[in-house]
Structure 1
Amino acid sequence: MNIQPLRTILATSLTLLLGACMVGPDYHRPDSPAPPQYKELPGWVAATPAAEAPKGDWWTTFNDPLLDELEPQVSVSNQTVQQDYANYEAAMAEVQVARSSLFPTIGIAGSVSKQRSAAGNVGSGVEHLKPVSTSGSLEGNVSWAPDFWGKVRRTVEESKANAQASEATLANATLAEQVALATAVIDLRVTDANIDLLQRTVTEYQEYLRVVANQDKAGTVPPSDVITARTQLENAQSSLLALGISRAQYAHAIAVLVGKTPEELDIPHDSNLPNLPSVPAGVPSTLLQRRPDIAVAEREMAAQNAAIGVAIAAYYPSISLSAADGFAQSPLSGLLHVANHVWSLGADVSQTVFDFGARHGQVAAARANYEAAVANYRGTVLTAFKNVEDDLSGLTILSQQADVLDSAVRNATRGAEIAFNEYKAGTVDYTTAAIAQTTRLSTEESALSVRQQRLVDTVSLIGDLGGGWSAAQLDEATPVAANAPAH
């Protein structure tokens, strides 16, 4: 088969394409103001960007065996993460589809047919059948629409940015689910600690009731003291039972976060709270690279910028080239003989002359969508700064509150002991002792709640700092199978 015409058309078109331009604006990320330091860190000196930022398995800093066991399962078993991974794979496939338009479509076609017709003198009534004849053809064809104005390249640019946005969305979803799991584990641990606290309290209240009942039998205290002590005990028992509901719900939530049914995951009681790590916040400007939600907004902005070029390209003519080269013969014998060689070259040009503002509207819409993406990007950055500032202020104040409550717990415990001893000595009524006991329990619960909030805010800070992720991780080509969630 003579392919010289095909080579000629491809070489000519490629030469034209290489000299072609891309219409529409080239992408440049707009500036987004970042403060030199966080407001809640006065006097902090900027260090190397992200030098001490959380990296990799950030949850290990909490030194909790349940977190260490379950957190790796989020990226492979969590259904939200799997859904976003599938969306990312679809986006990467769209990039491949867009890129294919840069190249010719090459095909081959062949046909064979048999026919036989009648022959004879017209009108004589004498007819006979001709011999069966076989005909056939074998043809190669090429069609191509050269991207003279850059429409296809802008579409590839748009699809690639969308794919990177999907990849960042996957990272953001994974981080969000990891943060949710860490928070649920902390809540479960605190609930177990509360259960231990109330169990100790119930035991103490049972002892208080025994003492009051003995004094009532001796006739040294009014009957109302027994009722007060029994009511106090029953309220504590009721609160202890209610904690069972919370614990079950946290355990169920943890199971779902790691892609299991609640029946598949049994979490033993453990009231040891995770360690409270120190998390360096770094410089605010590093958030632009460390938060995947900011990367999503930035890549969406790039995609919308490319979409402007796609819309502008509609103003220019569409040009398509075609070529065919092959053989045709009837009868079929000798099909590939040079005498049966056929070829063709063709070109089509189309241009919209009047569309009554359709293209203008499409370009205007694309520009407006880009401006909306810019606003979304800057809003996402501002929200990121706010989130970190909230976390830092919360941790600072909670640290001060924890110190005060630690002292309050010691005083309340001592006060409850003194009040009950005074009651046994007959110098105060039971109401005074009961109030002191209730105050001690309430103060201990408040101290435990502050410890819980400090842990939760630390997890939140790590998440708001990006959890060790970096925009440099955005893939340039195809997904890495080793990082794929299990299906």
Structure 2
Amino acid sequence: MRKSTLAAVSAAVLVALAGCTVGPDFVRPAVQSPAAWRIDYPMAAEVANTQWWEQFGDPVLNQLIETALRDNLDVRVAAARIDQFLGALTTTDSQAYPQLGYGAGAARTRASREGQPPIPEPASNYFSLYQASVSASWQVDLFGRVRRLSEAAQAQVYASQQGQRGVVLTLVTGVATSYIALRALDRQLEIAKSTAANFGETARIFDLRFKRGLVSQTEVTQVRSQYQQALTAIPTFEQQIGALENQISILLGRDPAPIPRGKTIDELVAPLIPAGLPSDLLQRRPDILAAEQNLVAANASIGVARSLYYPSLSLTGALGSTSTAFGNFLTGPATTWSVVAGLTGPIFTFGAIEGQVRSAEAQKAQAELVYRQTVLGAFRDTNSALIGTQKSIEGVEYQRGRVKALREFARLSRLKFEAGLIGYLEVLVADNELFAAELAFVNLQANRYSQAINVYQAMGGGWVDLADAQTPRPVGMAGGPRTP
């Protein structure tokens, strides 16, 4: 009766100790976020959770993004990284359970007749030995070391998932921005070719007029200089187009090749701007969520280090059979067994454990500062993108008006020149200003679309999950990623 009571008390103490977890529990750092953005857009918040690139109305862009999500190598690397941390998590979790094993062997031995003790005749000096065993071992998690290790490993899995979402976010916005820039270069190349053709025709006419003595050599030289200036812009744009096509090809996960085109930059429609509060970023930005999970892992590592101060208890048991005759193998007399309990703990470590604890605490402090810095950077990015969107809209409209005015200026100047009221220099100035203004207008159009893309990139949102669903799944997460 006394033995039973002692065993029950020991078991209860063991269970209580196993439920003890040293180290601090994670608490998300308080972050002072602004109440609202510096510029507010009265749009529906659901816009942030849609595949916003479809709002451009270009099926070719949609296909390019779909291809990138499927074949981009960075996305595949991120998926493999999730599998890596899932494997580490599985290994860590296994430490919380008993480890079972088995062993078996058979041996045939010839002993020396001249050994100690000698084997006399007629006894045989040949004998066999058959062995088989099943073993179990368990290191009892008395002070939560394994639980803290598992907590850190789980946080690393979540962080790697957010890392993949971050890659997806960058990939989608990168393809969209590059495609917009490509269509802008296409339009600028068209303008350069059209302008060069017009200037070339003007140069041909001036050559004829010079031969007839109607214009001076100076005016002919001015016209030819203007023509050469327009021609010079053409190879520059062609080089930039080729380089950008190569860049987009890499994003698509394929060798450099021409990129298909859809709508012109004038035909594209800017996506709506999503609404949301600054605090929303804390729940949906991949970099913030990844930084938070890294902080969780660093916090758990403190508990792992502190657990080294406390004793560890291990239990080991084995059940087997050993016999020199196969006929007697696995019978009652051949049975062997053992049960071992071991308790180990530190006495003097001369700062070894203290150093690990201090290192873990310093890593947590670093992770917390990185988290706070990431949050501040997210607020900055979003505010800048929202301001950039509004100002780029204003800039496009101002430049549109300037192009319209310069076209009229160029037309009137040419009429005055044809009437003999002014020299060609004024026409030259008007044409050159119009050429530069048209190119600048295209740049502002592209910037207008890019700023809208930047808003979606800065604010994150449910669209990242929609895009992520189109990427290759990690092997260990065929059913979809786990979320914290």
TM-score, length basis structure 1: 0.89
Secondary structure of 1:142 counterpart: strand
* Structure 2 CA distance for aligned equivalents of residues 420 and 472 of structure 1: 55
Q: Residues 327 and 342 of structure 1 are in contact (CA less than 8 Å); yes or no, is this contact kept in structure 2? A: yes
1:236-290 deviation per Cα after TM superposition (whole angstroms, max 9, x unaligned): 0110121110010111111110100014x54358634432122123111111112
Q: Confirm or deny that 1:267 pairs with 2:260.
A: yes
Secondary structure of 2:342 counterpart: strand
Q: Confirm or deny that 1:160 pairs with 2:157.
A: no
Residues 275, 136 of structure 1: CA spacing in aligned structure 2 closer, same or farther, 3 A cutoff? same
Q: CA offset at residue 372 of structure 1?
A: 1.0
Q: Which amino acid aligns with 1:160?
A: Q
Say which of 292, 308, 313 aligns to 1:314.
308
Q: Residues 20 and 149 of structure 1 are in contact (CA less than 8 Å); yes or no, is this contact kept in structure 2? A: yes
Say which of 347, 357, 369 aligns to 2:341.
347
Give the aligned partner of residue 163 of structure 2: 169
Q: CA offset at residue 103 of structure 1?
A: 0.8
How many residue pairs end up in the alignment?
469
Gaps of 5+ in 2: 1-6
Q: Confirm or deny that 1:395 pairs with 2:389.
A: yes
Q: Residues 118 and 129 of structure 1 are in contact (CA less than 8 Å); yes or no, is this contact kept in structure 2? A: no
Q: Which amino acid aligns with 2:317?
A: A
Q: CA offset at residue 20 of structure 1?
A: 2.4
Give the aligned partner of residue 285 of structure 1: 279
1:464-475 superposed matches below 5 A = 464-469=458-463
Secondary structure of 1:211 counterpart: helix
Residues 206, 191 of structure 1: CA spacing in aligned structure 2 closer, same or farther, 3 A cutoff? same
Q: CA offset at residue 116 of structure 1?
A: 3.9
Residues 392, 451 of structure 1: CA spacing in aligned structure 2 closer, same or farther, 3 A cutoff? same
Give the aligned partner of residue 36 of structure 2: 37
Say which of 211, 221, 230 aligns to 1:217.
211
Q: Which amino acid aligns with 1:30?
A: P
Residues 358, 429 of structure 1: CA spacing in aligned structure 2 closer, same or farther, 3 A cutoff? same
* Structure 2 CA distance for aligned equivalents of residues 26 and 88 of structure 1: 25
Q: CA offset at residue 74 of structure 1?
A: 2.0
1:420-435 superposed matches below 5 A = 420-435=414-429
Q: Residues 112 and 125 of structure 2 are in contact (CA less than 8 Å); yes or no, is this contact kept in structure 1? A: no
* Structure 2 CA distance for aligned equivalents of residues 186 and 375 of structure 1: 36
1:131-182 deviation per Cα after TM superposition (whole angstroms, max 9, x unaligned): 6332222211111101111000100000010111011001101211221111
Say which of 138, 144, 155 aligns to 2:138.
144
Q: CA offset at residue 112 of structure 1?
A: 1.9
Say which of 454, 463, 468 aligns to 2:457.
463
Q: Which amino acid aligns with 1:409?
A: V
Say which of 156, 175, 190 aligns to 1:181.
175
Q: CA offset at residue 122 of structure 1?
A: 10
Q: Confirm or deny that 1:252 pairs with 2:249.
A: no
* Structure 2 CA distance for aligned equivalents of residues 27 and 349 of structure 1: 30
Give the aligned partner of residue 193 of structure 1: 187
Secondary structure of 1:37 counterpart: coil
Q: Confirm or deny that 1:111 pairs with 2:110.
A: no
Give the aligned partner of residue 16 of structure 1: 15
Gaps of 5+ in 1: 1-7
* Structure 2 CA distance for aligned equivalents of residues 313 and 191 of structure 1: 61
Q: Residues 175 and 467 of structure 1 are in contact (CA less than 8 Å); yes or no, is this contact kept in structure 2? A: no
Q: Which amino acid aligns with 2:391?
A: I
* Structure 2 CA distance for aligned equivalents of residues 19 and 472 of structure 1: 42
Give the aligned partner of residue 82 of structure 1: 76
Q: Confirm or deny that 1:481 pairs with 2:464.
A: no
* Structure 2 CA distance for aligned equivalents of residues 245 and 337 of structure 1: 85
RMSD value, Cα = 3.0
Give the aligned partner of residue 440 of structure 2: 446
1:396-411 superposed matches below 5 A = 396-411=390-405
Q: Residues 18 and 144 of structure 2 are in contact (CA less than 8 Å); yes or no, is this contact kept in structure 1? A: no
Residues 220, 474 of structure 1: CA spacing in aligned structure 2 closer, same or farther, 3 A cutoff? closer
Q: Residues 23 and 309 of structure 1 are in contact (CA less than 8 Å); yes or no, is this contact kept in structure 2? A: yes
Q: CA offset at residue 216 of structure 1?
A: 2.1
1:37-91 deviation per Cα after TM superposition (whole angstroms, max 9, x unaligned): 10123xx67x9xx832422533111112221111012222111121121111101
Say which of 366, 376, 392 aligns to 2:370.
376
Q: Which amino acid aligns with 1:26?
A: D
Residues 345, 409 of structure 1: CA spacing in aligned structure 2 closer, same or farther, 3 A cutoff? same
1:186-221 deviation per Cα after TM superposition (whole angstroms, max 9, x unaligned): 110000010111122112212322332333233232
* Structure 1 CA distance for aligned equivalents of residues 178 and 445 of structure 2: 14
Give the aligned partner of residue 276 of structure 1: 270
Give the aligned partner of residue 26 of structure 2: 27
* Structure 2 CA distance for aligned equivalents of residues 124 and 112 of structure 1: 24
* Structure 2 CA distance for aligned equivalents of residues 448 and 169 of structure 1: 35
Secondary structure of 2:54 counterpart: helix
1:299-352 deviation per Cα after TM superposition (whole angstroms, max 9, x unaligned): 000000100100110000121110011222233322222222221110111111
* Structure 1 CA distance for aligned equivalents of residues 19 and 419 of structure 2: 100
Residues 467, 73 of structure 1: CA spacing in aligned structure 2 closer, same or farther, 3 A cutoff? farther
Q: CA offset at residue 442 of structure 1?
A: 1.3
* Structure 2 CA distance for aligned equivalents of residues 16 and 68 of structure 1: 57
Q: Residues 159 and 294 of structure 2 are in contact (CA less than 8 Å); yes or no, is this contact kept in structure 1? A: yes
* Structure 1 CA distance for aligned equivalents of residues 208 and 379 of structure 2: 62
Residues 377, 118 of structure 1: CA spacing in aligned structure 2 closer, same or farther, 3 A cutoff? closer
Secondary structure of 1:54 counterpart: helix
Q: Residues 144 and 320 of structure 1 are in contact (CA less than 8 Å); yes or no, is this contact kept in structure 2? A: yes
Q: Percent identity?
A: 27
Residues 470, 34 of structure 1: CA spacing in aligned structure 2 closer, same or farther, 3 A cutoff? farther
Secondary structure of 1:434 counterpart: helix
Q: Which amino acid aligns with 2:264?
A: S
* Structure 2 CA distance for aligned equivalents of residues 239 and 35 of structure 1: 46
Secondary structure of 1:333 counterpart: helix
* Structure 1 CA distance for aligned equivalents of residues 264 and 466 of structure 2: 40
Q: Which amino acid aligns with 1:481?
A: A
* Structure 1 CA distance for aligned equivalents of residues 270 and 384 of structure 2: 18
1:225-244 superposed matches below 5 A = 225-244=219-238
* Structure 2 CA distance for aligned equivalents of residues 16 and 124 of structure 1: 54
Residues 128, 32 of structure 1: CA spacing in aligned structure 2 closer, same or farther, 3 A cutoff? same
Q: Which amino acid aligns with 1:389?
A: N
TM-score, length basis structure 2: 0.90
Return 384-393 or 78-87, whichever deviates more: 78-87
